[in-house]
């Protein structure tokens, strides 16, 4: 296994507060790593720092290349994609256009031709990705017309359409019902099995524990535990910091066929 | 040395105005999240109301049909009551603006609020021109009334009003600081501007806070206008455009600190006065034997740029839930057919219309190109820019100079001119690179003013007299306004020139429509909807903005070249800031997000076709049109953000959907909004 995304000693400070401190993280190709932790643990900040949206110290390596000094769009073009908690779609565009603008830069020749002919060069990949997450029928809807669950799926599709090397998913299942969440988990697993490296932040413990290969637990900006899902379920520090008394219930639920997913 | 000190002290007068306007801007921003461009115009309003009361004892009335222009209140008033009433009028204007406009826009984007205040500014300025003409007059003094009222400083006599005024502004700032720091009202305002919804949950009423803050701000602005008018002069632009340095001061203060805004405002006044002093020196650069003009305005612009960088190019975010700032930008399904039809109609109209309407139509067609340039940068990318007419001016002057000094004419000169305008536009865009939305509006406003005073007013370039622009000749054919033509050749402009303009405008319209349909257009809209998400999918947000700015500047440049040929000469008066602001209003009115909207905006501009028709058929003077345009801009932002183009296309869609069904109830629904579009058509034959 080669490392797709490697984070070394990543720290983020807001004034005197260290939101993320000295985090190391390794994502291999075809590996799905879950990142969990209580509210305010620094999960989203870690993704922001990793993708260049927050000033940070430390190193981020994408397929061996140091991208720590690059702008967000440059990191994206090199193959680091992300989704947003609130989906953050391009509201003025249709679903297909949301994906189309995410397929990377186009040469000026293409742009000139598009302006003159009025036809946008589409990419086969866009339709494949849309079908891959089950959004095919909604391709020509405006982003603002979709339900919350559909919006999250568009966000996921948009992150995947550029064939990234690594993806950071920020709560893709928030706002989805149990069935949708389960479906999403299966789909994400499928993309990972095809060779993608994925970092998954979510509060749906059922989802995280069932699909991830490896789980990292963050609290107060520090990694307090990491291991396989079964390690994490029983890890005393995790139970204390995050799962607390609810741990037993969560563990039970995640093994049940219709897991409710802890809130 | 003592002279320098004297001028520095004299500058405190203007400084007090800038500081006062800065206080008003801060109040308006803290109360309602509005970057209020109208405070200068409000100061002007206060000064005019005071002037009328003090000298003639009449009260200015708003321009409502069947209401007299003024009400006589029996002879000239004393200073104190006149001052009180004038300030009350300003406070009332603030209350009206807050309750009628800002209250409805509370959830809207900062951009929408800024544009609404721009509407108010345009309206108030047009009102002043309507009642008092555009030339200046000396205003009655308020503070010092004779030569005895002066203080001797280092052997120089300085009128004491400068000191009194500075003291008053500092006093006002101190009172405001104390009120905001220690009273429940101040605490509540700060809370509401931190987080509006939470403040509401805590039982505060943001609406009332906004009202009080705006009334206070407008009253402060009005009072300063009255005090300062005798030191500058009373005209519709000088005081109104003092909002530019006031915005710079407010930027330094992060739109929150009363102390910093006052200090920065006073400093800016002193700066301006020192520039006046230095320009009398022999070493000061001259142009055609006169000290170069506009250095102060150039400094204001630089101060704005520096303030942007110093403050991290970001307004403190208010805790309001923001809506999307702009209406959807529809994409045309077909481009060639509508473009061809438009060209055909335009050419036919040129051939049959009498000469005055023909001239108006040429004006409209060129204005449509300026509106197109606004559509690209404002409508597609969501960057509020008011510099477009200024860039057109740059191109106009370039065309003139190329012809006179280098012998370069049509069609190379317009291309070079557009390239120069693009360069100038990019220069301004780069100086505002980290800046977006509302802040860009401030930068471009300062740039437009600097361009007007420093470049266009320079006698070596254009100046008041203007520079000649020879007719465009191509392959020995005269294409200019004085070309001969077999049909309808009575007087200029020749239909030939009109046809040239129509062809260029239609081609550029199709180009902009093509951009909207292309991947580039999609990326522009992606940047407009969500910059961080755009960056996250690999879109270079900065480049997309720069490309949009470049395209927009080139379009403005081509329009400027056509304007130059149209006027036959270019002077500073062709491209002034108030006209530029008017263009933004008309572009919004037509529909800021669509190509069709740009053409409708072109029809509406002053001296355009609609204005000509209203003037000739109904005898309505042009100045009323700007007044209505300002109000219409406010109404458009509040009720119909898609502009006229949006309502027309909605009506057409409703008709095509409902009419074939033959269902009478549907028909009724479909034709009701249709009355809207018919009114528009009735204005333009």
CB contact B546 to A (< 8 Å):
no
Nearest to B533 among A84, A117, A121 (CB): A84
DSSP conformation class of A244? G
Q: Using a CB-CB distance cutoff of 8 angstroms, which residues of chain B are in contact with residue A117?
A: 514
End-to-end CA distance of chain A: 34
Positive or negative, the CA dihedral A125, A129, A132, A135 is negative
Q: Do B335 and A116 touch (CB under 8 A)?
A: no
Q: Using a CB-CB distance cutoff of 8 angstroms, which residues of chain A are in contact with residue B507?
A: none
Around B123, how many Cα atoms within 13 Å sit in the side-chain half-sphere?
22
Cα of A124 to nearest chain B Cα, Å: 15
Q: Which residue of A has its CA nearest to B514?
A: A115
Q: Do B519 and A102 touch (CB under 8 A)?
A: no
Long-range contacts of B273-281 (CB under 8 A, 24+ apart): B273/B7, B273/B8, B273/B10, B273/B11, B273/B14, B273/B15, B274/B4, B274/B7, B274/B8, B274/B11, B275/B299, B276/B7, B277/B3, B277/B4, B277/B7
Cβ atoms < 10 Å from Cβ of B277: 16
pLDDT at B21: 94
> Contact B422/B554 with Cβ under 8 angstroms?
yes
Positive or negative, the CA dihedral A135, A136, A139, A140 is negative
Cα separation, B397 vs B413, in Å, equals: 11
Q: In whole angstroms, how far apart are CA B199 and each of B186, B206, B296, B331?
A: 13, 7, 42, 41
pLDDT at B197: 64
Cα of B454 to nearest chain A Cα, Å: 37
pLDDT at B508: 96
Cα separation, B146 vs B165, in Å, equals: 16
Whether pLDDT at A261 is above 60: no
CB contact A236 to B (< 8 Å):
no
B640's enclosing H/E stretch is none
Positive or negative, the CA dihedral B34, B37, B41, B43 is positive
Total residues belonging to chain B: 685
Cα of A98 to nearest chain B Cα, Å: 8
Cα of B182 to nearest chain A Cα, Å: 27
Cβ atoms < 10 Å from Cβ of B628: 20
Nearest to A102 among B324, B532, B537 (CB): B537
Best CA proximity match to B468, nearest among B410, B525, B396, B417:
B396
Dihedral of CA atoms B575, B579, B580, B584 in degrees, nearest 10, equals -150
Cα of A72 to nearest chain B Cα, Å: 6
Cα separation, B392 vs B415, in Å, equals: 12
Q: For residue A27, list its beta bridge partners.
A: A5
pLDDT at B553: 96
Cα separation, B634 vs B102, in Å, equals: 10
Q: Do B538 and A90 touch (CB under 8 A)?
A: no
pLDDT at A216: 92
Q: Using a CB-CB distance cutoff of 8 angstroms, which residues of chain B are in contact with residue A101?
A: 519, 522-523, 526, 534, 537, 539
Tell me which residues of chain B have a pLDDT lower than 50. 313-324, 660-685
DSSP conformation class of A53? S
Cβ atoms < 10 Å from Cβ of B43: 32
CB contact B551 to A (< 8 Å):
no
Percent over 70 (pLDDT), chain A = 91
Tell me the pLDDT tens digit for each residue of B520-542.
999 999 988 888 899 999 999 88
Cα separation, B62 vs B432, in Å, equals: 38
CB contact B312 to A (< 8 Å):
no
CB contact residues (below 8 A), chain B span 141-180, against chain A:
none
Best CA proximity match to B632, nearest among B576, B588, B684:
B588
Q: In whole angstroms, how far apart are CA B169 and each of A88, A234, B255, B303, B354?
A: 45, 68, 17, 21, 56
Tell me the pLDDT tens digit for each residue of B427-453.
888 876 666 667 788 889 999 999 998
Dihedral of CA atoms A103, A109, A113, A119 in degrees, nearest 10, equals -10
Cα of A30 to nearest chain B Cα, Å: 21
Identify the three-state secondary structure at position A1. coil
Q: Rg (Cα) of chain B, in Å, rounded?
A: 25
pLDDT at B149: 65
Nearest to B533 among A90, A110, A118 (CB): A90
Cα separation, B304 vs B387, in Å, equals: 15
Nearest to A120 among B518, B537, B539 (CB): B518
Q: Do A97 and B522 touch (CB under 8 A)?
A: yes
pLDDT at B84: 93
CB contact residues (below 8 A), chain B span 326-345, against chain A:
328-329, 335
Q: In whole angstroms, how far apart are CA B419 and each of A97, B241, B387, B567, B682?
A: 32, 29, 16, 21, 39
Residue B670 CA from chain centroid, whole number: 36
pLDDT at B663: 40
Q: In whole angstroms, how far apart are CA B165 and each of B89, B144, B150, B210, B273?
A: 21, 10, 13, 27, 16
Cβ atoms < 10 Å from Cβ of B184: 9
Q: Do A73 and B335 touch (CB under 8 A)?
A: no
Q: Do A102 and B517 touch (CB under 8 A)?
A: no
- What is the ipTM for the molecules in this complex? 0.89
Cα separation, B428 vs B423, in Å, equals: 9
Long-range contacts of B410-416 (CB under 8 A, 24+ apart): B410/B472, B410/B473, B410/B474, B410/B479, B410/B565, B411/B472, B411/B474, B413/B561, B414/B557, B414/B558, B414/B561, B414/B562
Q: Do A72 and B536 touch (CB under 8 A)?
A: yes
Cα separation, B599 vs A9, in Å, equals: 57
Q: Do B526 and A93 touch (CB under 8 A)?
A: yes
Query: In the numeric block, which tokens belong to residue B668?
Result: 């009724």
CB contact B286 to A (< 8 Å):
no
B306's enclosing H/E stretch is helix B295-310
Q: Do A114 and B514 touch (CB under 8 A)?
A: yes
Residues 6+ apart with CB under 8 A from B617: none
Looking at residues A181-206, what average pLDDT do you find?
90
Cα separation, B510 vs A117, in Å, equals: 11
Cα separation, B526 vs A104, in Å, equals: 13
Q: Do B536 and A105 touch (CB under 8 A)?
A: no
Residues 6+ apart with CB under 8 A from B531: B436, B541
A14's enclosing H/E stretch is strand A3-14
Cα separation, B214 vs B465, in Å, equals: 41
Tell me the pLDDT tens digit for each residue of A107-135.
888 888 888 887 887 888 899 999 888 88
CB contact B507 to A (< 8 Å):
no
Query: In the numeric block, which tokens belong to residue B316?
Result: 């403190």
Q: Do A76 and B517 touch (CB under 8 A)?
A: no
Q: What angle do CA B457, B462, B467 make, to 5 degrees?
A: 155
Greatest extent of chain B over all pairs of C-alpha atoms, in Å: 90
Cα of B515 to nearest chain A Cα, Å: 5
A229-251 core/surface letters (b: 16 or more CB in 10 A; e: else): beebbebeebbebbbeeebeebb
pLDDT at B403: 87
Phi, psi (degrees; rounded to nearest 5) at A138: -100, 10
pLDDT at B599: 95
Q: In whole angstroms, how far apart are CA B633 and each of B67, B228, B236, B637?
A: 23, 29, 20, 6
Identify the three-state secondary structure at position B675. helix
Q: Using a CB-CB distance cutoff of 8 angstroms, which residues of chain B are in contact with residue A106?
A: 519
Q: Do B529 and A93 touch (CB under 8 A)?
A: yes
pLDDT at B447: 92
Q: Using a CB-CB distance cutoff of 8 angstroms, which residues of chain B are in contact with residue A73?
A: 534-536, 538-541
Q: Using a CB-CB distance cutoff of 8 angstroms, which residues of chain B are in contact with residue A100?
A: 519, 522
Tell me the pLDDT tens digit for each residue of A133-158.
888 899 899 888 888 888 988 999 99
Q: Do B541 and A73 touch (CB under 8 A)?
A: yes
Around B171, how many Cα atoms within 13 Å sit in the side-chain half-sphere?
8
Q: Where are the beta strands (DSSP E) in A123-189?
A: 166-170
CB contact A173 to B (< 8 Å):
no
Nearest to A72 among B517, B528, B535 (CB): B535
Q: Using a CB-CB distance cutoff of 8 angstroms, which residues of chain B are in contact with residue A92?
A: 324, 328-329, 525-526, 528-529
Identify the three-state secondary structure at position B480. coil
Cα separation, B136 vs B138, in Å, equals: 7
Cα of A168 to nearest chain B Cα, Å: 11
Whether pLDDT at A62 is above 70: yes
Cα separation, B436 vs B453, in Å, equals: 25
Whether pLDDT at A85 is above 70: yes
């Amino acid at each position: 296994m080669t490392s797709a995304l490697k984070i070394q000693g990543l720290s983020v400070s807001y004034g005197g507060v260290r939101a993320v401190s000295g985090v190391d993280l390794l994502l291999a190709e075809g590996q799905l790593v879950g990142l969990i932790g209580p509210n305010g643990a620094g999960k989203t900040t870690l993704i922001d720092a990793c993708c260049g949206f927050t000033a940070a110290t430390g190193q981020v390596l994408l397929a061996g290349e140091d991208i720590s000094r690059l702008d967000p769009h440059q990191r994206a073009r090199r193959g680091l994609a992300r989704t947003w908690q609130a989906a953050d779609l391009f509201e003025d565009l249709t679903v297909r256009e949301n994906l189309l603008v995410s397929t990377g830069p186009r040469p000026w020749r293409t742009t000139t031709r598009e302006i003159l002919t009025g036809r946008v060069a589409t990419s086969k990949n866009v339709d494949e990705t849309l079908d891959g997450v089950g959004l095919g029928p909604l391709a020509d809807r405006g982003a603002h017309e979709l339900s919350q669950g559909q919006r999250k799926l568009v966000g996921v599709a948009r992150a995947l359409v550029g064939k990234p090397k690594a993806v950071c998913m920020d709560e893709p299942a928030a706002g989805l019902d149990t069935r949708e969440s389960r479906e999403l988990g299966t789909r994400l697993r499928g993309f990972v099995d095809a060779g993608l490296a994925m970092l998954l932040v979510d509060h749906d413990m059922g989802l995280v524990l069932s699909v991830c290969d490896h789980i990292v637990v963050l609290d107060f900006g520090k990694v307090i535990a990491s291991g396989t899902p079964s390690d994490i379920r029983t890890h005393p520090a995790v139970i204390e910091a995050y799962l607390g008394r609810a741990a037993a219930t969560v563990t039970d639920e995640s093994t049940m066929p219709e897991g409710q997913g802890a809130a | 040395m003592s002279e320098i000190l004297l001028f520095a002290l004299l500058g405190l007068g203007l400084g007090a105005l800038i500081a006062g306007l800065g206080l008003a801007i801060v109040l308006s921003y803290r109360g309602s999240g509005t970057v209020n461009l109208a405070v200068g115009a409000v100061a002007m309003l206060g000064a005019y109301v005071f002037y009328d009361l003090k000298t003639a004892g009449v009260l200015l009335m708003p321009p409502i049909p069947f209401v007299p222009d003024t009400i006589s209140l029996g002879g000239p008033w004393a200073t104190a009551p006149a001052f009180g009433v004038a300030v009350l009028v300003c406070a009332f204007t603030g209350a009206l603006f807050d309750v009628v406009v800002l209250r409805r826009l509370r959830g809207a984007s900062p951009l929408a609020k800024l544009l609404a205040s721009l509407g108010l500014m345009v309206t108030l300025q047009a009102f002043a021109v309507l009642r008092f003409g555009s030339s200046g007059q000396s205003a009655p003094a308020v503070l010092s009334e004779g030569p005895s009222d002066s203080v001797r400083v280092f052997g120089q006599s300085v009128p004491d009003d400068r000191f009194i005024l500075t003291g008053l502004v500092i006093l006002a700032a101190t009172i405001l600081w104390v009120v905001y720091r220690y009273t429940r009202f101040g605490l509540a305002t700060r809370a509401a501007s931190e987080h509006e919804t939470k403040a509401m949950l805590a039982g505060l009423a943001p609406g009332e806070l906004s009202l009080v803050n705006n009334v206070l701000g407008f009253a402060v602005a009005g009072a300063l206008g009255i005090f300062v008018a005798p030191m500058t002069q009373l005209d519709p632009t000088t005081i109104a455009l003092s909002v530019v340095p006031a915005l710079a001061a407010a930027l330094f203060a992060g739109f929150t600190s009363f102390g910093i805004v006052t200090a920065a405002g006073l400093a800016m006044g002193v700066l301006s006065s020192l520039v006046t002093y230095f320009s009398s020196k022999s070493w000061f650069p001259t142009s055609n034997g006169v000290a170069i003009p506009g250095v102060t305005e150039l400094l204001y612009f630089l101060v704005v740029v520096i303030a942007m960088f110093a403050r991290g190019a970001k307004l403190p975010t208010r805790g309001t839930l923001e809506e999307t700032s702009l209406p959807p930008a529809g994409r045309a399904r077909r481009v060639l057919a509508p473009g061809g039809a438009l060209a055909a109609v335009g050419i036919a109209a040129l051939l049959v219309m009498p000469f005055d309407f023909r001239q108006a139509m040429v004006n409209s067609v060129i204005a449509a190109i300026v509106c197109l340039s606004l559509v690209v940068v404002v409508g597609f990318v969501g960057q509020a820019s008011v510099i477009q007419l200024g860039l057109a001016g740059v191109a106009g002057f370039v065309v003139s100079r190329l012809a006179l000094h280098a012998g370069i004419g049509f069609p190379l000169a317009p291309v070079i001119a557009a390239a120069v305008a693009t360069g100038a536009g990019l220069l301004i865009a780069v100086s505002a690179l980290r800046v977006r939305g509302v802040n860009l509006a401030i930068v471009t406003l300062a740039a437009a003013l600097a361009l007007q005073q420093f470049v266009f007013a320079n006698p070596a370039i254009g100046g008041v007299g203007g520079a000649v622009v020879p007719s465009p000749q191509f392959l020995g054919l005269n294409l200019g306004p004085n070309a001969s033509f077999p049909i309808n050749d009575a007087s200029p402009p020749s239909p030939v020139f009109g046809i040239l303009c129509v062809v260029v405008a239609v081609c550029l319209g199709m180009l902009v429509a093509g951009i909207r349909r292309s991947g580039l257009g999609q990326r522009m809209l992606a940047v407009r909807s969500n910059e961080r998400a755009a960056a996250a999918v690999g879109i270079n947000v900065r480049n997309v903005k720069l490309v949009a700015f470049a395209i927009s500047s080139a379009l403005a440049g081509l329009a400027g070249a056509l304007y130059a040929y149209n006027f036959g000469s270019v002077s500073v008066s062709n491209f002034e800031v108030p006209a530029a602001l008017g263009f933004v209003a008309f572009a919004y009115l037509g529909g800021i997000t669509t190509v069709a909207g740009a053409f409708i905006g072109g029809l509406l501009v002053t001296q355009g076709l609609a204005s000509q028709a209203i003037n000739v058929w109904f005898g309505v003077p042009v100045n009323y049109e700007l007044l209505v345009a300002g109000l219409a801009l406010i109404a458009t932002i509040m009720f119909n953000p898609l502009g006229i183009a949006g309502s027309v296309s909605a009506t057409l869609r409703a008709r095509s959907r409902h009419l074939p069904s033959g269902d009478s109830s549907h028909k009724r629904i479909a034709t009701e909004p249709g009355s809207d579009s018919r009114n528009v058509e009735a204005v333009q034959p």
